[in-house]
């Protein structure tokens, strides 16, 4: 096999990227960094697949009449969009790419605790993904990503079982990844790296992993029950046979509400790293930010009933769930305020990752505050199943998680690829995403409040202006997402070589070469001080 010239550059030091080139060295690798790249490529594929469905949905909603898609196709498309984006992009995004790459490096270890299981998790993920994808090819699923019974078990004529099997298998990939992170953070920290010296990214990854490990099994068993009910009509969720459809919703949201925190917690961790590095200050109230991550993980298990406010659950338990849903705003707000306090008096610079970080604060705040509307029993009755809900969770998941993911990718890209991305392109695409995102989703708050229901392919004519704005925004957003795909891919091969620590950041991952050698560190690092100790700051204090 002949190597391209960039690989055989005479002075390229040994790194994980040039340690073997054959397909075996990638597909049978146990190196967490290579597995992270496998995940990166896979989830990028799923992201654009899910994005395609989103674009088709937005195009259909350009006009009030059903013209581009008929109702059956439309139902399949929003289901595919939801399933792919939730299980095959958002949940694995930051944990499996940045987490896999960074957790061992941040704790100063050579690899995760169970490297072979880590590889297995990628294979399970791919098998699950291919099953889910093939259900699209053979005709799709029209239940929505939530698979509510009795529609999914009794009435839908689509390939529900196929899709559920795909998600079931991908769930085990999540469980393995979560376990691997927890065990690694517990047992493999470098000497001197105490819990309160851990980077905040690790705190949030740890909290995310807790959710992955404790919630995902419940999803798996719920899908099995749903599948059996559909296949054999055994009556667990069928009122005609004594079953209760609400049990499905309880079990499903026992997983899926914590799962929406899987879709934001890692973003909060990335955010802390970015804010600290680009304002060159220690994170204000480090311990509170760290503990807020754990608190969010724990509270996330106590609020799932707010998805059932209008489903017929007990009003008394709804009161409790409403109250607990408010509580979760406290740790979220602690984070926001502490980031603001970190920025205050810092020497801020506006590189691309920092742009994403600042956008994140605004978008996450809007998403979080509108979450409080939905936690209020009375208002929720008014806006349930409207575009208000759609806008709210897109502000969290896209405005929060995807923005944080892109910020993190740009921030750690020099470490991952050993190359710098073109800064100007990065800034342009960050602004495109910010503008496009707000144009897409802010009108949806208004649409929802005016009463436009979600999951319909046609709507009343009066809603058209806002829908056109939303579709226009979506096309800007699409450009913003495609740009990084090209310039990051280009820079992977052709970009200028990156120094060890291009941002002047703290943290163990910046103390080894870019790209890192296969075993990460020449020798096991010894940690002697808290993270986020910026030299400039220390001099100022002196």
List residues near another protein by CB under 8 A: 109-115, 175, 179, 182-184, 186-188, 210, 213-218, 220-222, 225, 228, 232-236, 240-244, 246-247, 250-251, 254, 301-302, 304-305, 312-317, 320-321, 524
Question: For residue 441, what are the CA distances in angstroms to 361, 397, 456?
Answer: 16, 12, 17
Residues 6+ apart with CB under 8 A from 10: none
Q: Which is nearer to another protein, 241 or 330 (CB)?
A: 241
CB 114 within 8 A of CB 183: yes
Tell which phi-psi region holds residue 285, choosing left (phi > 0), alpha (psi between -120 and 50) or beta.
left
Q: Which is nearer to another protein, 36 or 439 (CB)?
A: 36
CB of 221 to another protein, least distance (A): 4
Minimum distance between the CB of residue 314 and another protein, rounded to whole angstroms?
4
Distances (CA, A) of 325 to 301, 313, 321, 372, 430: 10, 16, 6, 8, 32
Tell me the CA distances in angstroms from 148 to 23, 223, 364, one per residue in order: 42, 11, 28
Q: Classify burial at 59, counting beta carbons within 10 Å of its beta carbon; exposed 0-12, middle 13-18, buried 19 or more.
A: middle
CB of 210 to another protein, least distance (A): 8
- Residues with Cβ within 8 Å of residue 219, at least 6 apart in sequence: 167, 171, 252, 255, 256, 259
**SS3 per residue for 140-157:** CCCCCCCCCCCHHHHHCC
Distance from C-alpha of 394 to C-alpha of 437, rounded to nearest angstrom: 9
Nearer to another protein, 301 or 326 (CB): 301
**Least distance (Å) between residue 220 CB and another protein:** 6
Q: How far is the CB of 231 from another protein (least distance, A)?
A: 8
Between residues 228 and 369, which has the closer beta carbon with respect to another protein?
228
Contact 370, 397 (CB under 8 A): no
Query: In angstroms, what is the minimal distance from the CB of 317 to another protein?
Result: 4
Closer by beta carbon to another protein, 103 or else 283: 103
Cβ-based nearer residue to another protein, 2 or 194? 194
Residue closer to another protein by CB (options 250, 455) is: 250
When the beta carbons of 23 and 232 are compared against another protein, the nearer one is 232
Q: Which is nearer to another protein, 412 or 521 (CB)?
A: 521
Residue 299: CB minimum distance to another protein, A? 11
Residue 180 CB, nearest approach to another protein (Å): 8
Tell me whether residue 113 or residue 508 sits nearer to another protein (CB atom): 113
By beta-carbon proximity to another protein, the closer residue of 23 and 316 is 316
Give dist(CA 162, CA 408) in Å, integer: 34
User: With the CA atoms of 366, 369, 371 and 374 taken in that order, what torsion angle do they form, in degrees rounded to the nearest 10?
Assistant: -120
In terms of CB distance, is 255 or 387 closer to another protein?
A: 255
Q: Give ∠ CA 254-45-216 in degrees, rounded to 5.
A: 15
User: Is residue 385 a contact partner of residue 453, using CB atoms and an 8 Å limit?
Assistant: yes
> Measuring CA to CA, which residue among 195, 273, 269, 204 is closest to residue 534?
273
Q: How far is the CB of 111 from another protein (least distance, A)?
A: 4
Of 42 and 205, CB closest to another protein: 205
Q: Report in angstroms how near the CB of residue 421 gets to another protein at its nearest.
A: 30
The whole-angstrom separation of Cα 473 and Cα 341 is: 32
For residue 433, CA distances in Å to 304, 327, 390, 438, 442 come to 31, 31, 18, 8, 13
Shortest distance, CB of residue 310 to another protein, whole angstroms?
A: 14
- DSSP annotation of 285 reads T
Mutual orientation of helices 423-450 and 464-494 as an angle, nearest 10°?
Answer: 160
Cβ 207 vs Cβ 296: under 8 Å: yes
Q: Which residues of 214-223 are buried (b: 16+ CB within 10 A; e: fewer)?
A: bbbebbbebb
Minimum distance from residue 275 beta carbon to another protein (Å):
31
Cβ at position 188, least distance to another protein in Å:
7
- In degrees, rounded to 5, the angle at the alpha carbon of residue 340 between the alpha carbons of residues 334 and 346 is 135
Q: Which of 101, 88, 182 is nearest to 128 (CA)?
A: 88
């Amino acid at each position: 096999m002949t190597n391209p010239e960039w690989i055989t550059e005479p002075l390229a030091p040994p790194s994980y990227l040039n340690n073997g080139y054959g397909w075996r060295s990638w597909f049978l690798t146990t190196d967490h960094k290579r597995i992270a790249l496998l995940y990166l490529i896979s989830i990028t594929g799923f992201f654009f697949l899910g994005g395609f469905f989103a674009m088709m949905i937005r195009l259909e909603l350009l006009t009030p009449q059903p013209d581009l898609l008929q109702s059956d196709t439309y139902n399949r498309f929003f289901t595919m969009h939801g399933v792919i984006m939730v299980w095959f992009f958002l949940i694995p995004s930051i944990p499996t790419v940045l987490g896999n790459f960074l957790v061992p490096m941040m704790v100063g270890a050579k690899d995760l605790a169970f490297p072979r299981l880590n590889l297995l998790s990628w294979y399970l993920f791919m098998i699950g993904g291919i099953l889910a994808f093939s259900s699209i090819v053979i005709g799709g699923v029209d239940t929505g990503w939530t698979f509510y019974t009795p529609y999914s078990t009794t009435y839908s004529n689509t390939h529900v079982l196929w899709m559920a099997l795909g998600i079931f298998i991908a769930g085990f990939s999540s469980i393995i990844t979560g376990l691997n992170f927890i065990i690694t953070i517990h047992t493999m920290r470098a000497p001197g790296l105490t819990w309160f010296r851990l980077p905040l990214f690790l705190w949030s990854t740890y909290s995310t992993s807790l959710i992955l490990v404790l919630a995902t099994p419940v999803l798996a068993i719920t899908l099995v029950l749903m599948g059996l009910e559909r296949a054999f009509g055994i009556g667990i969720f069928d009122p005609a046979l004594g079953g209760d459809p609400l049990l499905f919703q309880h079990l499903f949201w026992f997983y899926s509400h914590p799962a929406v925190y899987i879709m934001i917690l890692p973003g909060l961790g990335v955010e802390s790293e970015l804010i600290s590095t680009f304002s060159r200050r220690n994170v204000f109230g480090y311990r509170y930010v760290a503990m807020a991550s754990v608190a969010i993980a724990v509270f996330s298990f106590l609020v799932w009933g707010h998805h059932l406010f209008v489903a017929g659950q007990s009003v008394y338990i709804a009161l409790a769930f409403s109250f607990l849903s408010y509580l979760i705003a406290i740790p979220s707000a602690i984070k926001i305020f502490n980031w603001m306090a970190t920025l205050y008096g810092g020497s801020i610079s506006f590189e691309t990752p920092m742009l994403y970080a600042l956008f994140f604060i605004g978008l996450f705040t809007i998403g979080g505050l509108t979450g409080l509307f939905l936690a209020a029993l009375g208002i929720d009755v008014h806006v349930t199943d409207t575009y208000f809900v759609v806008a709210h969770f897109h502000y969290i998941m896209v405005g929060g998680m995807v923005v944080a993911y892109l910020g993190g990718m740009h921030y750690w890209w020099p470490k991952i690829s050993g190359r710098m991305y073109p800064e100007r392109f990065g800034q342009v695409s960050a602004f495109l995403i910010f503008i496009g995102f707000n144009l897409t989703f802010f009108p949806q708050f208004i649409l929802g409040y005016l009463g436009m229901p979600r999951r319909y392919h046609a709507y009343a004519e009066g809603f058209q202006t806002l829908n056109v704005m939303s579709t226009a925004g979506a096309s800007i957003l699409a450009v913003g997402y495609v740009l990084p795909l090209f310039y990051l891919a280009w820079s992977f091969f052709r970009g200028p070589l990156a120094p060890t620590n291009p941002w002047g950041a703290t943290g163990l991952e910046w103390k080894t070469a870019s790209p890192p050698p296969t075993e990460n560190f020449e020798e096991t690092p010894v940690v002697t001080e808290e993270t986020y100790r910026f030299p400039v700051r220390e001099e100022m204090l002196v």
